């Protein structure tokens, strides 16, 4: 069977594909940050509990509480920020992501239910952290497990969509229970993302405690220290995982990264150097420079990821051949609403921070 | 896109969870919560304002508690099920989802911005409830309400587009699609629905307020939120319906039987909400009752909203994006091409491209998944294909597929080839329903010997010719369910006094007839007499016909017909031993009235058959002898289908012992009592069924009529059958036959004619308009079309619009130059001499054999002496009279 036969004809797009790709990359970058914080911080909470049980941790309870105080907010933004890139992904790659989603439909759809459970669990931890007693340990174990599952499903889909040769399995199993387990890059990619999430979440924990109140609050310095330690360990591990990932990539794609294409190679170089630089800065406990550097590395990795996907799909799908039926008006409306929305958000945040400072009497 | 691939995506095989179960589940819960999220925003800030104005700490505390409930419900469950809908539709109908996403990508993106603003404003609203200055806080509340409404504004445009794309179909312009015909009424409708739900949810939290006084205030306050938006919602609903285009209105309010229960539910719950709302305003309740009311309304609101969404979704049928993508994922613009290529040849995601005996079932399974599973589950809660088709045999299922998207236009057409239809039908019937539909081998009828009446050329002074007016009467015997025709054949006789100048005589003659022994008690064999009161509106004495004739009776001479006639003689094809016998003989005697002496006697077959093949499509067994008759299951299914499509209650009436005659609504002849506004029976039946039997020949006719050469009756038995003609040679093919009949009804502006006609394609011409109107029983095949001037025919096929112009031109009514009726000498239609009857060699040729010793028409082969007693040289009856019979046997 000619595999190309299985790839649906793409629908027409309303603007040049470059715009959609730009929006997709930018919004994915934002989503990735929130998502990493969600997954990484829930994993860190679990690691902390495990460490505490072995008698190594002190003040861990505060650190965990701190994590779960923020987790529901971050989940909300992670979900919201995930909608936009998935939307633009469907516009650019709908003819690939839909078939792969259907092949693994059971797992793909289960993400919604799992996320609802994880989200409510996070709220439970936020509001009832102390009242839950030992049940909180169960949730601390459950929540990262659920997020790991979601990450695993996403990694499966994102790799399956760029591997149409694996789609043929549909003809022996149309029940939506296929996974991309035979893809050599599945596990390294998954571990790569999970490791990155721990690093980003560690950095987030440190950043939160180093903003405006590091000295005044009990244990703040310890929290920063703990966060940076996770960052260092995860980023160090990433160097090994990254090599594993690189090795498992198909030869033509790896060739591009290893110097075959300057963009690929350059982005990887940024990633490696940024990682090493980040470790150095983190060892010095320079939180914000580490953050800025990590943002650069993350952006480079997002771009590299996008290029790798394009390279994977090169025989089957090229964005420049997607038909265009130009209508730019709706995009302008979107941009205007985005700018206006940002302004209103700024205004609302200003009101919120001002009230925090003023601590108004709540009497009506 | 110029490609052979027109069906692009794989289909998730969900089995019992197919048929849209997942989206129904996900969408109904999401829509409920998301509308609450919209209305609830306004509820929060307005209630907060009320608390501030009334300086009520308690009310403010309630708002704070409610906002927490609101946050946890809408932000988590509401938001994620919204994403869930998106996931689900892309899994269930990626073609339509892709289309929608590509058209409205920036609308979705804009809604995403509003969603982000909602999240942030709601977080701020809740978490600063006690810390922010009240005026600023309410500003945040107003902003949340605004962004929630804007989210609705955007999503409403997209959802409304799915039902009424309006001008977008022509212009492909985003704004035409977004601000489509139902945009504004839908927006108002949803807004009022959202406000109403805010009241219901407000009530749910209010009943847990500890202060009784506050609880009372809140009950009345929330009741206002339910009542006033409800009234406005009703106005919006009216506007919504008013702007719906005709096809969507027809599907919602007329065509789709699945929508009706939801319309009823919507109206009933609406009334309930209104009444309960009024009660809550009027009087206080105990806390227990308040809680029951609150949760009762919560459930009622869910079904109210759910039933509306169901109606709206179903109103798009047969599309999922109206006019753009069918619910089976075939693009509207590609449907015709798919039908030409076939499904397998158009589908990317199949490995089977050809159909053979070995893979028929597997192909059927693939086709079901591709074309049906989007709307039908297998044994699941929604649109279970097994339940919907359990009565159908393979032929019926194939016919159903053939007719899809035509009369039942709430389903998309099935664009498969004949082989694909057959494969899918076999899969559904034999694998899913486990019905192995094997036609029972037809039992060869036993020969029924009879006593041939004699004729003595030298001494007999009279020739008696007798016949019935139909050569193959089709009788429905499901009288406890319905009646197509009352039992009753008109029988005719002409008595010729022999001589050199013979004459047709009537004066002083008593003409009687007697049915063959065993057929004297038709009322014991069929239920017509039992249900005559409801079938024809009056009691009919057992064994008597509607015109007062029995099976043994006198005939009256009718001057205008020059023949003795007995009307509506109740002949049924069953003997008193319950044996099916479609050719009972009727003996006729002519006696001198004054002396009582026998002048002449003869016999003829009264061909009446109940071998009506309804069961081929409607399922069920034969009623008698595995050979004939409409069994109860078959009849029940016929009524069920009729009720479903035409919103009648015939099955219920039949169940109540009050079956109706089809002619009550479908008068067939001029003298039929019935509603003149109804389509005549022939046009209705042929018109309806032609939609399910396209492109067929005589095989379509013999599915219902007892004329199959492999059947038991084999009603087509005359010389034309022997010569190899079939039904279509004289009657034309099913589509042409039906269109002609329907044109008459269309010209008379009868409701439903255009619906039956619109998908029929004429076969005799490319131009539908060229088919002339014709009436049943009046404009029928005319023998002289082929036998021009009574000569041997040059053609053997009826041509366009070649029908008799009036009843007088009908073969059974027409006379020769001297007044002899055509059937008198030639036998009746479908059995013109020489006819071969499988129940006995000469059963259909009693009279020619009696008078001439051979089965050819009376007077054929220059047998003029039969009446004239001498040879004749002039063709006084009709031209070509003296030619020798060509098709000798």
pLDDT at B438: 61
- A 203-242 residues inside an 8 A Cβ radius of B: none
Q: Is A213 exposed, middle or buried (0-12, 13-18, 19+ CB in 10 A)?
A: exposed
- A 12-41 residues inside an 8 A Cβ radius of B: 12-14, 20, 23
Which residues touch A2 (CB under 8 Å, ≥6 apart)?
A: none
Collapsing DSSP states into helix, strand and coil, what is residue B47? helix
Instruction: Provide the terminal-to-terminal Cα distance of chain B, rounded to the nearest Å.
Output: 62
Question: Which tokens is B199 given?
Answer: 């009241």
Q: With an 8 Å Cβ cutoff, are B83 and A348 in contact?
A: no
CB A133: neighbour CB atoms within 10 A? 9
Scan for tokens 């042929």, then name that residue. B686
Residues of B in contact with A325 (CB under 8 A): 172
- Asked whether the beta carbons of B590 and B451 are under 8 A apart, the reply is no
**d(CA A192, nearest CA chain B) in Å:** 26
Q: Cα(A258)–Cα(A246) distance, rounded to whole angstroms?
A: 9
pLDDT tens, position by position, A36-81? 999 999 999 999 888 765 544 445 577 788 889 999 999 999 999 9
pLDDT at B23: 93
Residues of B in contact with A112 (CB under 8 A): 26, 80-81, 83-84, 87
B76 CB near a chain A CB, below 8 Å?
yes
Query: Which residue of chain A is at minimal alpha-carbon distance from B113?
Result: A338
Q: Is the pLDDT of residue A363 over 50?
A: no
Which among B5, B98, B124 is the nearest to A98, CB-wise?
B98
pLDDT at A59: 53
- B 346-365 residues inside an 8 A Cβ radius of A: 348-349, 351
- Asked whether the beta carbons of B376 and B383 are under 8 A apart, the reply is yes
Which residues touch B283 (CB under 8 Å, ≥6 apart)?
A: none
pLDDT tens, position by position, A90-147? 999 999 999 999 999 999 999 999 999 999 999 999 999 888 888 888 999 999 999 9
Among A95, A107, A108, A109, which would you mutate to test the B interface (most chain B Cβ atoms within 10 Å of its Cβ)? A109
Residues of B in contact with A14 (CB under 8 A): 102-103, 105-106, 174
Which residues touch B558 (CB under 8 Å, ≥6 apart)?
A: B564, B565
What's B58's DSSP letter? Answer: H
pLDDT tens, position by position, A288-302? 999 999 999 999 999
What's B431's DSSP letter? Answer: I
Nearest 5 degrees, angle CA B331-CA B334-CA B338?
Answer: 115
**d(CA B352, nearest CA chain A) in Å:** 10
- Asked whether the beta carbons of B381 and B374 are under 8 A apart, the reply is no
A346 CB near a chain B CB, below 8 Å?
no
B697 CB near a chain A CB, below 8 Å?
no
Residues of A in contact with B37 (CB under 8 A): none
pLDDT at B1: 47
pTM of the model: 0.89
Which among A98, A99, A119 is the nearest to B80, CB-wise?
A119
- Asked whether the beta carbons of B622 and B542 are under 8 A apart, the reply is no
Q: With an 8 Å Cβ cutoff, are A90 and B123 in contact?
A: no
Residues of A in contact with B174 (CB under 8 A): 14, 327, 329-330
pLDDT at A220: 65
Q: With an 8 Å Cβ cutoff, are A329 and B175 in contact?
A: yes
Label residue A209 by pLDDT band (50, 70, 90): confident
Label residue A362 by pLDDT band (50, 70, 90): very low
- Which pairing describes strands B473-474 and B608-609: parallel, antiparallel, or unpaired? parallel
Name the stretches of chain B with pLDDT < 50: 1
Among B49, B103, B105, B338, which would you mutate to test the A interface (most chain A Cβ atoms within 10 Å of its Cβ)? B105
Residue whose C-alpha is closest to residue B561's, from B694, B689, B456, B467:
B467
């Amino acid at each position: 069977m000619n595999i190309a036969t299985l790839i649906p004809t793409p629908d027409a797009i309303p603007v040049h594909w470059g715009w959609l790709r730009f929006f997709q990359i930018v919004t994915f970058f934002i989503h990735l940050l929130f998502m990493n914080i969600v997954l990484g911080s829930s994993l860190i909470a679990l690691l902390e509990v495990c460490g505490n049980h072995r008698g190594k941790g002190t003040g861990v309870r505060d650190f965990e509480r701190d994590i779960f105080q923020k987790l529901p907010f971050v989940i909300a933004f992670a979900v919201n920020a995930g909608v936009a890139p998935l939307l633009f992904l469907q516009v650019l790659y709908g003819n690939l992501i839909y078939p792969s989603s259907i092949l693994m439909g059971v797992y793909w759809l289960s993400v919604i239910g799992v996320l609802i459970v994880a989200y409510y669990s996070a709220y439970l931890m936020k509001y009832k952290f102390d009242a839950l007693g030992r049940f909180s340990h169960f949730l601390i174990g459950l929540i990262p497990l659920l997020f790991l599952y979601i990450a695993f499903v996403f990694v499966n889909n994102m790799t399956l969509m760029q591997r149409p040769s694996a789609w043929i399995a549909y003809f022996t199993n149309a029940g939506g229970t296929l996974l991309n387990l035979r893809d050599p890059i599945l596990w390294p990619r998954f571990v790569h993302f999970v490791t990155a999430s721990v690093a980003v979440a560690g950095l987030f924990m440190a950043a939160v405690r180093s903003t405006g109140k590091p000295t005044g609050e009990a244990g703040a310095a310890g929290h920063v220290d703990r966060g940076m330690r996770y960052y260092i360990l995860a980023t160090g591990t990433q160097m090994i995982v990254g090599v594993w990932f690189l090795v498992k990539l198909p030869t033509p794609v790896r060739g591009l990264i290893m110097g075959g294409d300057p963009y690929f190679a350059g982005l990887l170089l940024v990633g490696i150097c940024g990682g090493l630089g980040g470790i150095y800065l983190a060892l010095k406990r320079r939180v914000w420079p580490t953050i800025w550097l990590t943002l650069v590395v993350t952006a480079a990795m997002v771009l590299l990821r996008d290029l790798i996907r394009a390279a994977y799909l090169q025989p089957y799908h090229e964005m420049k051949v997607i038909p265009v039926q130009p209508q730019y008006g709706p995009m302008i409306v979107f941009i205007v609403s985005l700018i206006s929305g940002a302004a209103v958000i700024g205004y609302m945040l200003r009101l919120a921070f001002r009230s925090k400072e003023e601590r108004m009497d709540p009497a009506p | 896109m110029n490609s052979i691939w027109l069906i692009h995506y794989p289909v998730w095989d969900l089995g019992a969870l197919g048929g849209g179960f997942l989206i129904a589940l996900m969408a109904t819960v999401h829509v409920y919560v998301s509308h609450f999220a919209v209305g609830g925003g306004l509820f929060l800030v307005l209630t907060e304002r009320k608390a501030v104005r009334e300086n009520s700490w308690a009310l403010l505390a309630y708002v704070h508690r409610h906002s927490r409930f609101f946050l946890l419900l809408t932000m988590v469950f509401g938001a994620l099920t919204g994403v869930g809908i998106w996931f689900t539709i892309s899994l269930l109908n990626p073609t339509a989802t892709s289309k929608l996403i590509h058209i409205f990508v920036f609308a979705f993106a804009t809604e995403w911005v509003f969603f982000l603003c909602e999240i942030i404003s709601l977080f701020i609203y809740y978490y600063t409830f006690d810390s922010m200055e009240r005026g600023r806080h309410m500003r945040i509340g107003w902003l949340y309400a605004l962004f929630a409404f804007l989210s609705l504004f955007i999503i409403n445009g997209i959802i409304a587009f799915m039902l009424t794309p309006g001008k977008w179909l022509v212009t492909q312009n985003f704004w035409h699609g977004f601000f489509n015909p139902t945009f504004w009424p839908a927006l108002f409708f949803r807004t009022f629905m959202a406000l109403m739900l805010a009241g219901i949810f407000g009530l749910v939290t209010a009943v847990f307020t500890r202060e009784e006084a506050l609880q009372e205030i809140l009950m009345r306050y929330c009741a206002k939120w339910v009542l006033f938006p409800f009234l406005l919602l009703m106005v919006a609903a009216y506007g919504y319906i008013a702007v719906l285009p005709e096809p969507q209105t027809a599907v919602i309010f007329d065509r789709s039987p699945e929508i009706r229960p939801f319309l009823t539910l919507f109206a009933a719950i609406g009334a309930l909400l209104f009444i309960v709302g009024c009660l809550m305003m009027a009087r206080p309740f105990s806390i227990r009752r308040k809680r029951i009311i609150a949760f009762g309304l919560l459930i009622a609101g869910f079904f109210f909203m759910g039933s509306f969404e169901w109606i709206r979704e179903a109103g798009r049928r047969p599309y999922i994006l109206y006019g753009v993508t069918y619910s089976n994922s075939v693009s509207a613009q590609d449907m015709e091409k798919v039908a030409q290529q076939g499904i397998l040849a158009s589908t990317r995601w199949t490995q089977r491209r050809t159909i053979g005996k070995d893979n028929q079932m597997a192909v059927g399974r693939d086709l079901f998944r591709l074309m049906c599973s989007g709307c039908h589950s297998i044994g699941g809660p929604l649109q279970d294909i097994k339940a919907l088709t359990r009565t159908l045999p393979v032929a019926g299922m194939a016919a159903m597929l053939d007719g899809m998207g035509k009369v039942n236009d709430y389903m998309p057409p099935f664009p498969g080839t004949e082989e694909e239809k057959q494969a899918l039908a076999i899969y559904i019937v034999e694998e899913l329903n486990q019905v192995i539909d094997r036609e029972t081998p037809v039992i060869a009828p036993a020969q029924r010997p009879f006593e041939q009446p004699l004729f003595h050329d030298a001494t007999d002074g009279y020739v008696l010719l007798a016949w019935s007016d139909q050569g193959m009467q089709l009788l429905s015997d499901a009288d406890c369910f319905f009646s197509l025709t009352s039992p009753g054949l008109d029988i005719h006789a002409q008595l010729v006094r022999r001589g050199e100048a013979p004459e047709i005589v009537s004066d002083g003659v008593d003409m009687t007839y007697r049915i063959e022994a065993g057929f004297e008690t038709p009322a014991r064999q069929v239920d017509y007499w039992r249900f005559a009161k409801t079938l024809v509106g009056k009691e009919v004495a057992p064994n008597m016909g509607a015109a007062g004739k029995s099976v043994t009776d006198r005939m009256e001479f009718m001057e205008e017909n020059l023949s003795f006639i007995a009307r509506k003689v109740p002949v049924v094809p069953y003997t008193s031993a319950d044996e099916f016998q479609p050719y009972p003989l009727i003996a006729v005697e002519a006696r001198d009235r004054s002396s009582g002496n026998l002048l002449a006697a003869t016999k003829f077959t009264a061909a009446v058959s109940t071998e009506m093949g309804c069961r081929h499509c409607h399922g069920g067994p034969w009623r008698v002898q595995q050979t004939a008759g409409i069994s109860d299951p078959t009849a029940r299914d016929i009524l069920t289908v009729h009720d479903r499509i035409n919103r009648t209650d015939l099955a219920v009436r039949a169940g109540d012992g009050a079956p109706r005659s089809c002619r009550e609504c479908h008068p067939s002849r001029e003298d039929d009592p019935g509603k003149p506004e109804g389509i005549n029976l022939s046009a209705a039946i042929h018109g309806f069924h032609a939609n399910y039997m396209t492109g067929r020949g005589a095989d379509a006719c013999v599915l219902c009529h007892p004329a199959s050469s492999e059947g038991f009756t084999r009603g087509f038995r005359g010389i034309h059958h022997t010569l190899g003609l079939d039904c279509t040679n004289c009657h034309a093919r099913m589509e042409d036959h039906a269109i002609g009949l329907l044109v008459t009804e269309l010209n008379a502006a009868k409701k439903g004619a255009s619906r039956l006609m619109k998908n029929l394609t004429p076969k005799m011409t490319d131009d539908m308009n060229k088919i002339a109107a014709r009436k049943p029983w009046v404009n029928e095949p005319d023998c002289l079309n082929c036998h021009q001037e009574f000569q041997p025919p040059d053609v053997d096929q009826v041509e366009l619009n070649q029908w008799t112009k009036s009843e007088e031109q009908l073969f059974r009514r027409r006379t020769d130059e001297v007044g002899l009726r055509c059937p008198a000498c030639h036998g009746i239609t479908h059995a013109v001499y020489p006819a071969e009857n499988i129940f006995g060699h000469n059963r259909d040729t009693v009279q020619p054999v009696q008078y001439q010793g051979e089965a050819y028409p009376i007077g054929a082969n220059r047998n003029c002496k039969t009446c004239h007693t001498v040879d004749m040289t002039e063709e006084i009856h009709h031209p070509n009279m003296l030619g020798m019979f060509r098709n000798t046997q």
